[in-house]
Every structure is written in structure tokens, then in C-alpha cells.
Chain A
């Protein structure tokens, strides 16, 4: 088996308070390997405000500015403006937020930051629901998923619509670079975060991060399930830069059923619902491949 070629530096200490098998904790560890110590993280209310540990202890070996739920884009702009005012140009500014804090309550400030072309990396760790408050539906919760606010019940009130197309929204908003990453593909992840560091402007990283309690999976399976998301085409790994899309891992080989049935939050899905998910994934994947090809053709 080939060895991973990841940077050795560890900027997440032992003793964090993430759940066993927390995808977002592994994600932070991998991202910080790529980001390095000259990074300022700012982060809203989210799982990570707890995962980092309780005052006076802190699990990260980089400075972290905490703030309110909807502020990540704005605080990032403020940090960058102050660094510019002070003539400091060797610091990476990172906004680190969950999916609800990004696509729902934080969308306005994020859109503002993109509009201002703030030079920073926004990393959305997408565990597909409000997990810190105990699994409520967000704009990133997938179609038909169970959460505590899409509980099914007599009226079958599961999530009724697909995830918000946040990457497309931000591309049309004006990001300089966009990439999807997964904890199951760490080298791809590190390569993309390192690349984001070299680009001026707003960079958006959409990171799928599995959540054992929220997805109702065993904590030992979080990487495996995340890998299935890519192998089924549900979460393809691609990049966007200067109008061009690149599909980094064309590994869609498995039916969505395998991914869905590995998780308790989808256990109620009927064959018809699974078929509908498959239909949509096939369509979206084909559309993405067409965009990648189009980009290739135009050079």
C-alpha cells in the first residue's frame, strides 16, 4: 500500500473535544497541514466552537477569532483590511464555518466578502445539518434526509428539496477559486488548500465532513462513508478557477443506494425515492462533466 505524502506538521493538538469519528476534526487537521502556522482562523458558532476546547485551553496551534453565527465573511474582510493597513502580507486569513453558518445565516456576509473580493480562504465544513445544536435541517441537508426538524412522521416530512447549490452561487458571485474536498481523499484536499493559498481573492472550499451522530453511522465508518459519497457521484471532487472546471477524481462507479443505505438518516427511503436520488445524481454528474469538458475545449 502506498504511503500518504501529507505534511508532517500537526496544528491540531490532542485533547480536542470533537466526537469520536468527527469528520470536521479530521478535516481541520488536514487543512491546517496545508495552511501552516501563519494562519488566522475566524469561526462562528458551530461544532468547532466546542471542538476547540474550553477556555483557557485551545486545541489549535494557530490564532482563532471567535464570533457570532452570521459573521464569517464580514470578520474575514475586517481581518484582511487590518492586515493590509498594517502592511502585513504573509498571513493566510481563513473563515472556518459549518454549512448552516455558510449557506443559511452566513450567506449575506459571505456574499459581501466575495463581492469585496476579500483575499481569504473560506472553508465550509459541510456535515449537512445544524449538528452543534443537535441535528436540525439546514440548506445543505440532502433530499429526503431525516433530521430533528425534518422528522418524517405521519406526513412523511423529510427534507423536501436538494442542497443549495452554494458553489454555483458563489462562482456567479465572483470567487477566484472554488474546490470540493473530502476527508476520504486527503492528498487531493491538501493539494487544493495549498493551491488556494497561492491565489489572490476569495477562495471557497466545500468540504464534506461526515458526522457519526447526525448521519447515524458508526464512528469507525466516517471516512468510508465520505469516500462512498464521492464514489457514488453524490459529492464529486472538482475545482473551479478562471471560468474553468476540472474534475479531479472521476470515480463514480457505485449506485447511490450503497451510500444512502450506509446511514441511519436515509433508512426510511423507498425504492422510488432512491431511484429519484439516483436520477438527480446522474443528471448533476453529467452536467458537471459537460462543464469540465467545455472548459477543456476552450483551453
Chain B
């Protein structure tokens, strides 16, 4: 059924459709309306879930880990400082192999205080063992949350997942969303029935003390699961397309890249803007494409390499900075393309931090810059901050 809803309403709706059993939530801008909507649905009996009003995000994640061990399907949502506060428990959730699904409404970390979107918060958690997927629009927020449960709870995976929607740009913007009937979702997403859950017939410890002789094997198993998740996301995408018609069968969505001279890799809502810019460039005869990065964890190394085989000049737009070489995605892309480093040029663009608008015109400048690099075969800078103002300011 077609509906008009915000990204946050779509996220809450997805939790309802997934028949989530335990919710633990704590307010933070711009996530708050997800937890409010869920509270309302539980209070009205539209959703048969237990809602724990926790006293922090750290406790939200801790509570869900406990609930997941009983075998309940679990859900929370957060942003920015809240995600950072969860950091310790993010490691715990993935190490304990609890398939918690959590939309993260991306937002800058302070100081300076800033409630608007960037990806510094989620990139700060990239090594916690969570799957991380970016949404371009509200439809994707709804769909990816549903798919996330299917992948996360797969017996070969059992890893938690963050579904990232950009703060305000998606979270508070109304868009047309096709909402499947809950009965259709039941067919796509089966009840959670994990092998590892509390069992009184065989009492054991969950999250025990492991000595150096075996601890590394536990970590390696997490790594294997993350690797397998690539295939599982593709399979979940194919099944989703079959059931609902929308295509998420690749971890990187290629837009006009087939014959492109240059391509720009973008994650999140900015991918939509980049696509419009690419259309404009194409109208002017400029052969440019957009590669929308849907999954950041697992990282689609093979897809990026295939892109590099066809397109020899690649730009990466990052809404984050690592305080090393460029943004988080840039580092991963260069890493993936290293085996063909001599043939492919990769340039990083940093922009859209702290909610700075990133316009079609800015993307057009990036495309022109990439085309110039493709033509000359050289680039003066590896990483550039775009749309940066001059002028004095104090920190």
C-alpha cells in the first residue's frame, strides 16, 4: 500500500512489520520520532512488543543483548552521541552473535554541537563487527530493515546490523513509501529461532571467559560470518525482488557506469543528488556514472574491483573524515583497488559534514574534476574538502 511517510516513520513501520518482540529505546535527535512512534504503536496494541524505556543508549544495547539470548527479535534506534555511548556494547552484541537490527539516523558528533547529518558517527563504529548499510531514501529504510533481519538471523551469519538513514534529509522528510502487508512480510521473514539461546536443559555460560588458546578462533568466526554476509545480502535481495519487485540484489548499485569515463562512489541520501548531477552531465555529453555503495560492512571489495576494471578514474564522496587519508569509504576503496593501483586513479572528496548541504552543482564540479584527471592522467591532490568556506573562525 502506498503511503506518505518520513524515514523515521518508515523505520518504525519496518519494526512493526518484522514483528519485533522487544524494543529498548532512548531519545536522541534526530532519531527520537522512531522511538516515539514505536511507543505509540505498542500503547495502541498495533504492535505486540515489550517496550523497555531505558535510561541510556548503553543500556538499550545491553537490554537487547539479554533479550536476544532468550530468543526474542530485538530493535532499537539511535544517532550520533548515543551510538558513541553504545560503542562498548556494539562489540558485545557482535561478539555474542546477537542479530539485533538498529536504524542509525546519522548525525555529526560534537563539539561543536550539531544535530545534522554526517557519517562520522557510523564510521566511528565500522570495526565493531556490525553490518552497516546505507539508505538513499525512505523506501530503502523500510526495505533494508526487513532484509536486515533475514540476513542477520541467518544461522550462518548471526551478526547485528545498522541501517543508516541520513538525519533530517531522510528522517524528517516525507516521501512516498510502498508498505507491504504484514502477511507478505511473514512469508519473507520467518520467526527468529536461534540455535544459541538460553536453554535450561543444557545450562551453560553465554559470553564466557576464553583464554588466548581459543579467543582468536572466536574472532575469526566473526570474520567468516561477515564475509559470508555478502552472499546472503545478495540472496536476500533477490528474494525481496521476487516478493516485492524492488531490486536490492547488489551491494553496489551502478548508475550509468557501463560506458563511463569516470564514476563517483557515494553512500546515503547524497547518492540521489549525485545521480541527478550525472544525468545533467550526460546531457552535456560527459560520460559519468554513480556507484551507490549500499553495504559498507560487509565491504563489497569484489564489486569495487569490477568497477575499477571498467572505469579507470574513480571518485569517492565521503561524509566523514578519518584524520588520516581522507574519509572512511575512500580508504576502503583504495584498499580494494590496490592490486590495480598503477592503472586506476582514486580521488577522495570530503563534504556534507555537520549537515552542510551538498548540491547538484557541487557534484558536477566533482565530476568535472574527475574528467580532467581522466584526461590528464594525473591528479594534484588525493583528497579534497569540497565547498569549504574561507574566513577566520576560532575553535
Chain A residues proximal to chain B, CB less than 8 Å: 37-38, 40, 42, 49-50, 52-56, 58, 60-68, 70-71, 73-79, 81-86, 88, 108-109, 111-112, 115-116
Kindly count the residue-residue contacts between A and B in the assembled complex, taking CB atoms under 8 Å apart: 150
Contact B50 A112 (CB under 8 A): no
Q: Looking at the complex, which of B65-73, B227-235, B238-246, B272-280 is the stretch in contact with chain A?
A: B65-73
Contact B62 A68, beta carbon cutoff 8 Å = yes
Residues of chain B lying within 8 A (CB to CB) of residue A77: 24, 52, 54, 59, 63, 66
Known: A62-B203, A85-B50. 10 other contacts (CB 8 A): A55-B208, A55-B210, A55-B211, A67-B66, A71-B89, A74-B24, A74-B62, A75-B62, A81-B52, A85-B67
29 pairs, A vs B, C-beta closer than 8 Å: A40-B198, A54-B208, A54-B211, A63-B200, A63-B206, A64-B205, A66-B209, A67-B66, A68-B89, A68-B92, A70-B58, A71-B59, A71-B65, A74-B24, A74-B54, A74-B58, A74-B66, A75-B65, A77-B63, A78-B52, A78-B63, A78-B66, A79-B67, A82-B70, A85-B22, A85-B50, A109-B56, A109-B58, A112-B56
State the B residues within 8 Å of A (CB). Answer: 21-22, 24, 49-50, 52-56, 58-60, 62-72, 74, 88-89, 92, 198-200, 203-211, 214
Contacts of A116 in B (CB 8 A): 52-53
A61 touches B52 (CB 8 A): no
The interface residues of chain A lying within 8 Å CB-to-CB of B49 are 85
Shortest CB-to-CB span from B89 to chain A, Å, is 6
Complex contact B70–A83 (CB within 8 A): yes
* Minimal Cβ-Cβ distance residue in A for B59: A74
Measured between beta carbons, the chain B residues less than 8 angstroms from A112 are: 54-56, 59
A54 to B211, CA, bound (A): 7
**Contact indicator A82/B66 (Cβ below 8 Å):** yes
* A86, B62: Cβ atoms closer than 8 Å: no
| Chain A residues within an 8 Å CB radius of B60 | 74
What does DSSP make chain A's interface, helix, strand, loop or mixed? Answer: mixed
Contact for B214 among A42, A55, A78, CB less than 8 A? A55
Q: How far is the CB of A180 from chain B (nearest CB, A)?
A: 26
User: Given A77-B52, A85-B22, A65 and B62 touching (CB < 8 A)?
Assistant: no
A61 vs B201: C-alpha distance when bound (angstroms): 10
CB distance from B65 to the nearest CB of A (A): 6
Contact A63 B22, beta carbon cutoff 8 Å: no
By a CB distance below 8 angstroms, the chain B residues around A109 are 55-56, 58-59, 62
- Report the bound CA distance from A82 to B62 in whole Å: 13
How far apart sit A56 and B55, CA to CA, in the bound complex (Å)? 34
Shortest CB-to-CB span from B374 to chain A, Å, is 50
- CA A53 to CA B210, docked complex, whole Å: 9
A83 contacts across to B, CB distance below 8 A: 70
Q: A58-B204, A60-B203 are in contact. Are A67 and B92 (CB under 8 A)?
A: yes
Contacts of A38 in B (CB 8 A): 200
